[in-house]
């Protein structure tokens, strides 16, 4: 049953344009810009098999969500309940109407959001 009672913020990293400066006046590298889009979704449980496969690959599968496919445009990160995650895997349903996102804790593998 799709409740769509959860909210997730999708975070995309915008690479600098070729003619943009990549360092500030002091020579420090500028952080990439982010786009944030909050959408309604349906939180799901992570199955044992999927959790185990992710662990073997060095990731910790934390959360899964279903959302409308039209609302997802390839973002690499997500935020849920104030915590950031890497979008580890996406799966589009056979009908194409829904996309399932599998999220991994960003603290695994030193995963800072830096594009």
Domain that holds residue 76: 6-13+30-110
Task: Tell me the pTM.
Answer: 0.73
1 located within any domain? no
pLDDT tens-digit series, residues 8-25: 999 998 876 666 666 767
Q: Give the distance between the most distant pair of CA atoms in the chain.
A: 54
25 located within any domain? no
pLDDT for 57 equals 63
Count of structural domains, the chain: 1
Residue 32 has pLDDT above 70, yes or no: yes
Could you give the 3-state DSSP secondary structure of residue 51?
Answer: helix
pLDDT tens-digit series, residues 58-104: 666 578 999 999 999 999 999 999 999 999 889 999 999 999 999 98
pLDDT tens-digit series, residues 45-71: 876 566 556 566 666 657 899 999 999
99 located within any domain? yes
Q: Output the domain CATH number for residue 97.
A: 2.40.10
20 located within any domain? no
Whether 46 contacts 62, CB under 8 Å: yes
């Amino acid at each position: 049953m799709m409740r769509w009672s959860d909210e997730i913020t999708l975070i995309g990293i915008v690479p600098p344009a070729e003619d943009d400066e990549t360092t500030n006046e002091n020579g420090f590298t500028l952080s990439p810009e982010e786009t944030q889009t909050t959408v309604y979704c349906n939180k799901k449980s992570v199955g044992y098999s999927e959790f185990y496969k992710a662990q073997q690959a060095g990731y910790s599968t934390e959360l899964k969500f279903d959302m409308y496919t039209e609302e997802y445009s390839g973002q690499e990160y997500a935020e849920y309940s104030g915590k950031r995650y890497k979008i580890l895997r996406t799966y589009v349903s056979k009908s194409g109407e829904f996309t399932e996102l599998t999220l991994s804790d960003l603290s695994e593998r030193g995963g800072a959001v830096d594009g």
